[in-house]
Amino acid sequence: MKMILKIFITFFKIGAFTIGGAYAMIPLIKREVCQKNNWLTEDEFLDGLSAAQSCPGPIAINLSIYIGFHLAKGKGLATAVLATILPSFITILIIAILFQQFAEATLVQKAFHSLRPAVVALIAVPLIQMSRQSGLTLSSFWFPLSVAVLVGFLRISPVYLILITIAFAVYQGLKKQK
Amino acid sequence: MAMINQEVVLKNAWITHSQFMDIVAISQMTPGPIAINAATFIGYQKGGFLGSVISTLGVIFPSLIVMTLITITYIKLKNQPWFKNIFRKLRLLSLGLIAAAFIMIAGDAFRDLFSVLVFTASFIASWKFKLNPFYLLIGAAVIGIALG
């Protein structure tokens, strides 16, 4: 019971602060999951992150499914997902009810003028850190770089790249076994 | 986002295009991924509280199925070399996707001098001083209100 409560609180926190996308929160989630609570090893976390990005659905949700299941199977999964959704569900519901007044509040606009570049920085930092940790060599660098260009500039859907990557990896794996 | 626009605005005409842009803007400002926010919002508009609950559950449904299957498979097969290889490749891909996300929103960081300053300060705070993102965002919001 204590674990379930902990899962709920942790993911509620995470859900409440993923503003402008889950990417900026990744180091925080990693800190909570790997260092603070010792729930997963770093490798398990990074694999979960990769899987979360490759599956349909928002990363935050996918990650909560992965981590929640690891911790307490079905119950853990359900708790983590619910806790992640709740903050945004409640917030949006309130906004939907008061729609006009919210969007035009100057205070809010001012806050977000500052929040947007802050979020960009929060994505840049872990990006650089993760690049270092992934042991990128000169020869493997081309892969994430081309993905970044294809998706970021050419706006090609990541889905194709994901499927190609998995197919190639499986093919490679099978070839080695021969 | 493009898909949400396609389905909701063009195909089903549940909201207008400008309403959609509003939702996107609001979603940037509120907790939660845009898919969830859009589902909750439009669900409420079209079907009240029940509508918002159903839409939200609906949008996470594929995630629940696919991700759960992948997680179970991962736990079973994670020591198999061929399976590990898939994840090795996926990690690199994942790096590229994060970089792509950065590229797509990088414009926000350099829109005006204020943004550049906030970006620089945030970067240093996070990189050098390892400032917790929770507090960094709160700080940024306060600065925006005070100086924006």
The structural domains of chain A, with segments of one domain joined by +, span 2-106+116-135, 136-178
Per-residue pLDDT reduced to its tens digit, A50-98 = 999 888 888 999 999 999 999 999 999 999 999 999 999 999 988 888 8
* B115 close contact with A: CB closer than 8 A: yes
* Cβ-defined contact of A147 to B99 (cutoff 8 Å): yes
Per-residue pLDDT reduced to its tens digit, A5-35 = 999 999 999 898 887 667 878 888 988 899 8
Please tell me the predicted confidence (pLDDT) of residue A101: 61
The total number of structural domains in chain B stands at 3
* Cβ-defined contact of A125 to B89 (cutoff 8 Å): no
Contact by Cβ (8 Å): A77, B108:
no
> Are residues B70 and B4 part of one domain?
yes
Who among B83, B99, B111 is closest to A144 (CB)?
B99
Residues in Cβ contact with B118 at an 8 Å cutoff, skipping those fewer than 6 apart: A114, A117, A118, A121, B140, B143, B144
Per-residue pLDDT reduced to its tens digit, B56-98 = 999 999 999 999 999 999 999 888 888 888 888 888 888 888 8
Contacts of A146 in chain B (CB under 8 A): 96
Contacts of A103 in chain B (CB under 8 A): 22, 25-26
* B14 close contact with A: CB closer than 8 A: no
> Are residues B18 and B58 part of one domain?
yes
The domain in which residue B122 lies consists of 111-148
Q: Which residue of B has its CA nearest to A78?
A: B64
**Extended beta strands in A24-68, E state:** none
> Are residues B65 and B13 part of one domain?
yes
Who among A17, A103, A125 is closest to B26 (CB)?
A103
> Are residues B131 and B101 part of one domain?
no
- What distance separates the 2 farthest-apart alpha carbons in chain B? 55
Please tell me the predicted confidence (pLDDT) of residue B7: 75
> Are residues B27 and B9 part of one domain?
yes
Q: Model-level pTM greater than 0.90?
A: no
> Are residues B92 and B123 part of one domain?
no
> Are residues B90 and B70 part of one domain?
no
**Among residues B55, B57, B30, which one has the least CA distance to residue B43?**
B55
Measured between CA atoms, how close is B58 to chain A, in angstroms? 11
* Angle at alpha carbon of residue B83, lines to B82 and B85, rounded to 5°: 65
**d(C-alpha B32, C-alpha A154), whole Å:** 26
> Are residues B69 and B13 part of one domain?
yes
Who among B99, B108, B126 is closest to A152 (CB)?
B99
* Cβ-defined contact of B31 to A27 (cutoff 8 Å): no
